[in-house]
Amino acid sequence: MRRGTLLIHKASRVNMPGHRRFYTFLTGSFFASFGGWINLLAILNIATYRFNATPFDLVILSAALLVPPILLTRIISRVCGRYASTRVLVVALTLTLGTTAALLWVGNFIAFLLVVALKSAALGFTDPSETLYVTTCIDEAHQSRAFRLLSLAQSVAKICAPAAGGIVAAWAGDNHTMLASIVLIAVAIVLMLASTSNGKAVPEASTTQDQKAASRAPFSGTVVPLLLCVGIYFALAAAVNNQFPLMLKHQGFDKSVLGIVVSCSALGGVLGSLLPMGRHAKQAGLGALIAPALATSVIFIVMGGIFRLPLRPAEWLLATAFFATGFVGARFRVECRLFIARRLADQVASASASLQSAGMLMQFIAPCIGAVLTSLLTASEVFITLGSVAAASLVAVAFGFGRQQHVAGPVAAALVTDADHR
């Protein structure tokens, strides 16, 4: 954990004048992510070993983890848009801490599911609040770097947390793993409080005249291509996540291959978060958003070909491909936040909440599609089919909405200019 924190601080030693509080916020986000991953692993272990969950029970648990933020999308949007982002984060993390503590004492599976659902609902406020914090507290020139550092914090936490959680669970049990999660979340709360701007609230996005004029402009549809890209991307990944161990087994791969490819994916995510986004980050258009998602689709098609090769070169090529998916995935997540910051500046809270819901919805639905495909097709055919369908869908989004945005640009400029004159 200490190495992960040092890596984040080293990467965050950049020239961001007046934004030193962001580094405190960044460290708090790291501890929150770290505690969240440990918490998730403990929840799965408790469901499996304490309550002897059946496969159907685990499906219900998945619903408790994913559905609440989807149902609360409108409430999350309103709350995040009305109150300071750090205040919302502190309250959400405090509720998360309380529900995590409650998991230590629940005595039956139904109560366990209800507490998990409450915890999931509280966590639904964190990601939109982080996006809003960057867009309102960080200068536009440094927002790309800030989003990359947040992505880095999440990637490092994702790498470190499973090992740390596994060690604690093996030595002290799942209850102590929960206690470790509580401590980490408590540290995150303290850091979030310290990152506030002398008690000042974040300016509300809907209060200025320019933003009121922008909200009257016919651009609410700008969020649609974002949600489509996110839905396609998450459906692509979620469709194979649960089935991938079974695919490796059927293809004759060793058990160690799963751990290798997951580690390679995480390392790719770290590198993708560290490298600058480039000049296109200043515009964050639809093309920059679609490119990494399309690259992931192509990688899936390539992995379909890799599954047809002999085992020895195939396992190393799979590791390379997963490294690429992690790298591209980190870029895609940053591009999504930049798209919101640049193209939906007057709808940050609602767009972020909708973005989160779209991803979670696909993570809930897509595994069912993946299970059906895996039962009918070989591993190679599953990856080629998913990659091809996703690529075709992204190309359709590019053609369908690219022209609309090209035409809408001059109209937007005219409306804003007219509002300024008024």
Contact indicator for 90, 146 with CB cutoff of 8 Å:
no
Contact indicator for 151, 334 with CB cutoff of 8 Å:
yes
Q: How big is the chain, counted in residues? A: 422
Number of Cα atoms under 13 Å in the Cβ half of residue 174: 17
What are 200's strand-pairing partners?
A: 197
Rounded Cα–Cα distance for residues 67 and 109 (Å): 18
Q: What is the mean pLDDT of residues 50-62?
A: 87
Query: Mind listing the pLDDT tens digit for each residue in 310-359?
Result: 988 998 999 999 999 999 999 999 999 998 988 888 888 899 999 999 99
- For residue 321 the two structure tokens come to 């491909």
Rounded Cα–Cα distance for residues 271 and 159 (Å): 13
Virtual CA dihedral for 229, 360, 281, 137, nearest 10 degrees? Answer: 150
Q: What is the mean pLDDT of the chain?
A: 82
Long-range contacts of 137-141 (CB under 8 A, 24+ apart): 137/19, 137/21, 137/22, 137/85, 137/197, 137/202, 138/16, 138/19, 138/22, 139/16, 139/18, 139/19, 140/341
Higher pLDDT, 363 or 12: 363
Burial of residue 224 (CB within 10 Å: 0-12, 13-18, 19+) is: middle
Q: What is the structure's pLDDT at 215?
A: 38
Burial of residue 179 (CB within 10 Å: 0-12, 13-18, 19+) is: middle
Contact indicator for 128, 77 with CB cutoff of 8 Å:
yes
Number of Cα atoms under 13 Å in the Cβ half of residue 221: 10
Instruction: Enumerate residues 6+ apart whose C-beta is below 8 A from 77.
Output: 128, 349, 350, 352, 353, 354
The dotted CATH code for 1-204 is 1.20.1250.20
* Phi/psi-derived region of residue 123, left when phi > 0, alpha when psi is between -120 and 50, beta in every other case: alpha
Q: Does domain 206-422 have CATH number 1.10.20.10?
A: no
pLDDT > 70? residue 305? yes
Q: Where are the beta strands (DSSP E) in 54-141?
A: none
Rounded Cα–Cα distance for residues 118 and 121 (Å): 5
- Phi, psi angle pair for 361, to nearest 5°: -60, -45
Report the SS3 class of residue 253. Answer: coil
* pTM exceeding 0.75: yes
The answer to which of 62-66, 199-203, 264-268 has the lowest mean pLDDT is: 199-203
The Cα angle at residue 378 between residues 372 and 382, in degrees rounded to 5: 60
Q: 16-20, 204-208, 218-222, 369-373 — which one is most confidently predicted on average?
A: 369-373
Question: Cα separations (Å) of 106 from 55, 66, 313, 339?
Answer: 21, 20, 48, 42
pLDDT > 60? residue 226? yes
Query: Mind listing the pLDDT tens digit for each residue in 12-25?
Result: 444 454 467 899 99
Longest CA–CA separation in the chain, Å: 70
Q: What is the structure's pLDDT at 410?
A: 43
- For residue 160 the two structure tokens come to 């470190």
Q: What is the mean pLDDT of residues 134-149?
A: 88
Residues of the chain with CATH 1.20.1250.20: 1-204, 206-422
Query: Mind listing the pLDDT tens digit for each residue in 175-215?
Result: 788 888 899 999 999 999 998 754 344 444 443 444 443 33
Q: Which residue has the tokens 């209800």?
A: 114
Q: Where are the beta strands (DSSP E) in 205-363?
A: none
Closest CA to 319 of 395, 355, 265: 265
Distance of CA 217 to the CA centre of its chain: 29
- Residue-wise DSSP of 170-217: HHH-HHHHHHHHHHHHHHHHHHHHHTSBTTBPPPPTTSSHHHHHHHHS
Angle between helices 20-45 and 109-123 (to 10 degrees): 160
Categorize the per-residue pLDDT at 129 as very low, low, confident or very high, splitting at 50, 70 and 90. Answer: very high
Q: Which residue has the tokens 């669970």?
A: 169
Q: What is the mean pLDDT of residues 57-82?
A: 92
Q: What is the mean pLDDT of residues 284-307?
A: 91
pLDDT > 50? residue 6? no
Q: What is the structure's pLDDT at 413?
A: 41
Contact indicator for 347, 290 with CB cutoff of 8 Å:
no
Rounded Cα–Cα distance for residues 411 and 35 (Å): 46
Q: What is the structure's pLDDT at 332?
A: 94
Closest CA to 142 of 322, 321, 13, 19: 19
What are 197's strand-pairing partners?
A: 200
